[in-house]
Every structure is written in structure tokens, then in C-alpha cells.
Amino acid sequence: MPTVDSLPRIASAVTPAVMVSACGLIALGLINLSQALGGRLRELTREHRAAPTAEARRGVIRRQVAILGQRHRTVSRALFLDYGAILAFALTSLLFLGHGIVALPAVVEGLLFLLGVLLLCGAAGFAIAAVHLDGGALRLEQLDVLGDPGSGPAEHR
């Protein structure tokens, strides 16, 4: 009955493959976010260089560019960890499918899967940090447009 023995191996190989798909979707979201951040940074740079931009606004733009740059680096780190997870899960699937062809201890498969999970957790942590950083840039924009809530509207400052 070789079919009975091969079904658990196939099921074990599919689990990391599903994780590869999940990580791929996460990577797409992170890539889109990275591109949006790059576009926003370019917009702010153009505004900063424009002649009629007031010095006070330039100060806000500089602070926003610093935050958005940090956020972009954070998203990039999340993306690298996500790609590392993809690699770990793909190698786990490969080892599951190649069991018997390559003489490696079974614990290697488990450790590779665990590595993928840990990398994915790290990617999630960086993604959460990037969302937190977004709040800082948005608060700067709100203060620039609306002014300090305690000092009245921005046009009266």
C-alpha cells in the first residue's frame, strides 16, 4: 500500500506550500505599500523644492520625509523577512517531497518550517511598526492643516 504512505507525505508537503502562497500575498501588499510610500516621498520632495513653499511648511515636509523614510525602511525589512519565510517554506516542501532521496534527519524539515514561521512573525512585527509610524506622518499633516487644537484654526495662527 504505497498510496497510504505517500498521502501523509503529500499533505505534509502541501502545508508549507500553502504558507508560501500566504507569504506571497503578504509580499504583494508590502510591495504596494512600499511603492505608495516612494510616491508620497517623491511628492513631498517636489513640494519642498517648489519656490512658493513657505518655510514653516518646509519644516513639516522635512519631518514627514524623515518619518516616511523610516517607514519605508521598516516595510523593506518586513518584505525581506517575508521573502525569507517564502524560501524557508519552499525548502520545507522540497525536503518533504524529496524525503528518501536526500538523507537528512526529519528534524531539519521541522526546523525549516519553524524558521519560516519565525520569519513571518518578524515580518508581521515590522508591518505593525510601519503602521504605527504612519500615524506620526499623518499627525504632522493634520497639525499643519488644522493647527494645534488648543490654538484655534491654522489660519488664525
- State pLDDT tens for residues 105-144: 878 888 999 999 999 999 999 999 998 888 888 888 888 8
DSSP state of 157: -
For residue 34, name the pLDDT band (cuts at 50, 70, 90): very high
List beta partners, residue 102: 99
For residue 9, name the pLDDT band (cuts at 50, 70, 90): low
Q: 85 vs 3, 40, 126, 157, CA distance in Å?
A: 30, 28, 14, 51
The helix or strand, by DSSP H or E, that contains position 154, with its residue range, turns out to be none
User: 38 near 4, Cβ under 8 Å?
Assistant: no
- Distance from the Cα of residue 74 to its chain's centroid: 7
Who wins on pLDDT, 98 or 43? Answer: 43
DSSP state of 103: -
